[in-house]
Every structure is written in C-alpha cells, then in structure tokens.
Amino acid sequence: MSEEQIKNLEAQFEARIARDEKIEPKDWMPEKYRKTHIRQMSQHAHSEIVGMLPEGNWITRAPSLRRKVALLAKVQDEAGHGLYLYSATETLGISRDELYEQLHTGKAKYSSIFNYPTVTWADMGAIGWLVDGAAIINQVPLCSTSYGPYARAMIRVCKEESFHQRQGFEIMIKLAEGTSEQKEMAQDALNRWWWPSLMMLGPTDSESVHTEQSMKWKLKRKSNDDLRQQFIDQTVPQAELIGLTIPDPDLKWNEERQSYDFGEINWDEFWQVVKGHGPCNKERMKARVGAWERGEWVRDAAMAYAEKQQTRKEKRAI
Amino acid sequence: MKNNLYKYILGIADNSLILGQRMGSLTGHGPSLETDIACTNISLDLFGQVRSYYQYAAKIAGDNRTEDDIAMLRKEREYLNVLLVEQPNTDFAYIIARQFLFDVYHFMFLTELQKSHDVTLSAIATKSIKEVSYHQRFSSDWIKRLGDGTELSKAKMQEAINGLWTYTDELFHQTEADKAMVAQSIGVDVTKLKEGYYEVVNTILNESTLEVPESKWFQKGGKVGIHTEHLGYLLSDLQFMQRTYPNMDW
C-alpha cells in the first residue's frame, strides 16, 4: 500500500471515530490503534484477574454465610470480566496465552492498587466502595469508546461494578454502625485504601503519557485529574454519611470551585509500586504464575482429550 | 424427633458447607479462567444450599441461634460431614476426584430427598438438584479429560481416585438420626444408594480409562464427628471472624 493510500485510510478512520461510529475487529485500523488497544484492554483484563487475589484472600474467612456468598459472587464476576476482556482483546489478533505471557513476565501492567494487602475484613468493604468506585469512574466513559468489542464489554462490566460498589459500601455501613471495634476496623481500612484509590485514577495529567492520543480515540474522555476530582467529590459525602473520616487533613470544600480541595498525593509511592516495589507485587505474580504453571498438565490433558475425541469422531464417520 | 431432625439436617448441610469452603479457597488459583469460574460457581451453589438448610435447622432448634452460629460456632466434633469432603486441595486431580465422588452420591441423595415427607427438605432438594446435576456433569467430564488425556494426567487422576476411594463407603453409613428420619419417611435410606453409586462411578472410571480401586478398606467417622486432621485447619479459617469478634453483626 502506498503512503498516500495509508494516509487516506487513516483520514477515513479518524473521521469514522469523530462521527462516533464503532470500529469493529475486521475493519482496517492503524497499527498504533491496535497496539494501544491491546495494551489498555489487556491491562484491564489483567487487573480483573490479579484483582481476584486480594479479595479471594477473605473468601474462606468471611464473617457470615451471606457475606461469603456475596464475596464469592463478586470475585467470580471479576473472573468473568477478565474473560470478556481477554476475549475482546483477542479480536485484535493476539492470543490469551500471549497476553498471560506478558503479564507473567512483567511486560504488561495491571492496576497497582492490587499490590496492597487485605489485612482485615473491612478491606472487603473498602475495596468495593473505593476501588470499585474509582474503577467505575474510569470505566463508565469507556462504554462509548470507539472500539466496538471493548465498548460492549464495558457496558456489562460497569453494571456489575456498580453493584459491587454498593455492596462494598453496605459492608462499610454495617461496620460503621457496629461496635467500636468494627468502627475502628472500618476507619483503619479507609485510612489505608484512600490514597491508593486516588492514585488508581492514574498519574497527574502533566505526567500522563497516553492521554492526548487516547482522548482522540475515545479511550479516554476526561483527564486523570478530572476523574480524580470527580471521585473525591462523590466519595467524601459518603464517608461523612457513615461517620468515617477521610485521612487527609488538607481536604476542604472549595465554595468557588464547588469541589473539594485535597492534599498532595505521594507520587513517589505510586511509581515505586508501579515499578514492582509495592507490598504484594511479588506475591501477586507468584500466585498468578503458580496457578498457571500448576495448571499446565490440566490444560495439556484437556487438549489431548479433545484431539482424541475428534479423531474418534472422524473414524466413526468413515 | 426435633433433635433427630436437627442432626439430620446438619448431616446433609455440613457436607455442602465443608466442600463449599474447599472449592471457594480455589478462587483465583484455578488452572484456567474457565475452570476457576466453574469451581467458584460450585462453591456458590453449595453455600446457597447450606444457607437454606441451616436456616431451617435454626428454626427447628427454636432458640436464638442463627444460620451463622450453626455454620461457624460449633466445635470440631460437632460437624457431621463425611470425611471425603474435608480432604485437601492437593492438586486439580484430587479436587476433581473429590467433587466427582461426592457429586454422584449427592445427586442420588437429592433425587430421593425430593420425596421426603418434610416439605422444606423436599423443596430444598428440588431446588438443589438442578445445580448438583451440573456439578456432576462438570466433574465427570473432567474425570474423562484427565483420565483419558495425557499419560501424566492419567497417572495423577488415578492417584487421586486411589487416594480418595477409602472415603467413599462412609457415604452409605447410617447414623441414629438417619435411621430415625428414614423411619418417618423424612430421611433417605442411603444404604439403598450404594449399589447404584458404584455402578455409576465405575462406568465413568472405565470410560475414562481409569482403574476401579480394589481396596476394600474404608475410613469412617465424619458422620459421627470424628474427623481427619484436615478439618481443624479448615474450621479455623471458617470460624476466624466469629471467634475473634463474638456477637457482632456483619
């Protein structure tokens, strides 16, 4: 294809996105679009799968049967999200095995928040309320992103996430209304998860390398800082409602901006965790890689069995 | 009657509780995303059944105890599950073998329990049997895949079947509560399920190119509360919150 032809295709492609048309797997797309989507979508899928681990940590110890069932269902939903998102990513011409390989070798990233430990039951509440809350803010705009399979997956994911967020908040309400030990547990969880949740919305705009291109492709519709502000403005009144204190002495309502001013985020911590130095980075990868390696003989057996069945079927057909 | 019925319900429910707990601890660590989802689903089904049984048991007990008290605040000797379901998640072959050896029994048991003269038990059985029919299909399919897959998977599957075989006979033992409930047409006479059980199990093992273990020595004790050493550790996780923070709502 000549350079001029490619330019022409690119112009048509950008025009389609500008008209809010969806790009589908078989449509022509610039290589950079494909790669950016593989990166973002797989990162999202990996986050769902790694995100199962901190919550999975409390399945056997959930305090009541009702909470256990809800937690199991939630973690199962995350596995389901991982499954759709991997499948949606596969439409861009990459296999799930290759995507796993990228995760296991550290080439692909996942949301840094899952590198923090879940040390008490209240963390199940805080994760649902804050982490899923922040995720929704990030993800709702993606329901109208330009790549069709991603947009459609996100519609379903967002519905379930919003349920998880309410479920998490409900855990927090119950703790906040409970005994002094329970209240203390809830406040402690908020103290530990608040700042990582703010970081979860991504580096501040001046440090974010992907924003501009992503805006054009509707992979992003608001900047990280705008999303963060939205999250804070939405969450602070919820904390107040249940009598918990946001662990930020600089947090203050700004009448003029009709928004909260907030304290400085420790970006050094954020980058350290991204680089692999968070409290649980090693454990999370060990768990994922371990499950994959321990499962190899199972996957091999399933393939061998399927092949045998196929051969038997063919023999019977002759 | 009340005490026998209470114990009878626990005998059924504890199997689902302990197996549900075992399957739930796999979440996030399965050999593939699809099997991970399926194992979590089985765990969810089992806990759903457990809740129905314990809520009913709490009503029968008639004091202030709740489903969670029954599930999480008994002593180890008071759990009445069979030894099979408490066996550890040694590897995926053991997980599947345990599930399969229980599912075949569970399906037959619920089929009969549907005919119980106790309407609540009959209703729970009718609801649960749909789920258990899926569990049995899932575990039987995996027995076939692993048995007739690769040499390695066959060896592992055979080892797991051999290892767990010793716990199968207990499924057909009757406790005093069982006998009393059978006499009132509330309970299922499990002794009558035994022959059919081994027929189904042996057929699937044969189809899977696996050998039916010849061992005739069987372990027992779970149904009367004498467990393997594995149960205590499982309970310390299960009961952790209720023991550490007594008398609180969650």
Higher pLDDT, B145 or A219: B145
For B89-130, write each residue's pLDDT tens digit. 999 999 999 999 999 999 999 999 999 999 999 999 999 999
Q: Which two tokens stand for residue A312?
A: 């038997």
**What is the predicted ipTM?**
0.97
pTM of the shown model: 0.96
CA-to-CA dists, residue A209 to A139, A214, B24, B73, angstroms:
19, 10, 40, 54
Q: Where are the domains of chain B?
A: 2-244
- The pLDDT assigned to A22 comes to 95
Of B33, B35, B250, the CB nearest to A64: B250
- Mutation test of the interface with chain B: which of A65, A74, A78, A120, choosing the one with the most B Cβ atoms within 10 A? A65
With beta carbons less than 8 A apart as the criterion, state whether B153 and A301 touch. Answer: yes
| Cα(A112)–Cα(A128) distance, integer angstroms | 16
With beta carbons less than 8 A apart as the criterion, state whether B179 and B131 touch. Answer: no
- A287 pLDDT higher than 80: yes
- B27 pLDDT higher than 80: yes
The mean pLDDT value for A42-67 works out to 97
* Per-state percent for chain A, helix, strand, coil, to nearest 5: 70, 5, 25
B223: confidence class by pLDDT, cuts 50, 70, 90: very high
- A212 pLDDT higher than 80: no
Pairwise CB contact (< 8 Å): B156 & A297: yes
- Mutation test of the interface with chain B: which of A55, A64, A300, choosing the one with the most B Cβ atoms within 10 A? A64
- Mutation test of the interface with chain A: which of B27, B154, B236, choosing the one with the most A Cβ atoms within 10 A? B27
CATH (one of 3.30.750.24, 1.10.238.10, 1.10.600.10, 1.20.1260.10) for B2-244: 1.20.1260.10
Pairwise CB contact (< 8 Å): A79 & B144: no
- A2 pLDDT higher than 90: no
Pairwise CB contact (< 8 Å): B28 & A291: yes
- The pLDDT assigned to A220 comes to 85
- The pLDDT assigned to B214 comes to 93
**B27 vs A: CB within 8 A:** yes
The mean pLDDT value for B59-73 works out to 96
- The pLDDT assigned to B1 comes to 60
**B78 vs A: CB within 8 A:** no
Contacts of A122 (CB under 8 A, 6+ apart): A171, A172, A175, A182, A185, A186, A188, A189
CB environment B175-194: b (16+ within 10 A), e (fewer): bebbebbbeeebbbebeebb
A73 to chain B: closest CA residue? B44
- A211 pLDDT higher than 80: no
> What average pLDDT is seen over chain A?
95
A1: confidence class by pLDDT, cuts 50, 70, 90: confident
Pairwise CB contact (< 8 Å): A300 & B152: yes
- The pLDDT assigned to B250 comes to 96
Q: Which amino acid type is present at position A200?
A: M
Q: What percent of chain A has pLDDT over 90?
A: 89
The mean pLDDT value for B71-96 works out to 98
User: Furthest-apart CA pair in chain B: how many Å?
Assistant: 56
A65: confidence class by pLDDT, cuts 50, 70, 90: very high
Per-window interface: B 52-71 vs A, CB < 8 A: 54, 67-68, 71
CB contacts of A305 in chain B (<8 Å) are 144-146, 148-149
DSSP A107: S
Pairwise CB contact (< 8 Å): B241 & A299: no
CB environment A48-78: b (16+ within 10 A), e (fewer): bbbbbbbbbbbbbbbbbbebbbbbbbbbbbb
Q: Which two tokens stand for residue A291?
A: 């499950």
B36 to chain A: closest CA residue? A79
| Cα(A132)–Cα(A135) distance, integer angstroms | 5
CB contacts of B140 in chain A (<8 Å) are none
- The pLDDT assigned to A49 comes to 97
Nearest C-alpha neighbor of B191 from the set B87, B89, B74, B108:
B108
CB contacts of A295 in chain B (<8 Å) are 30-32, 35, 92
For A73-110, write each residue's pLDDT tens digit. 999 999 999 999 999 999 999 999 999 999 999 999 99
A213: confidence class by pLDDT, cuts 50, 70, 90: confident
| Cα(A228)–Cα(A59) distance, integer angstroms | 30
- The pLDDT assigned to A216 comes to 85
Nearest C-alpha neighbor of B144 from the set B91, B89, B208, B205:
B208
**B250 vs A: CB within 8 A:** yes
For B123-179, write each residue's pLDDT tens digit. 999 999 999 999 999 999 999 999 999 999 999 999 999 999 999 999 999 999 999
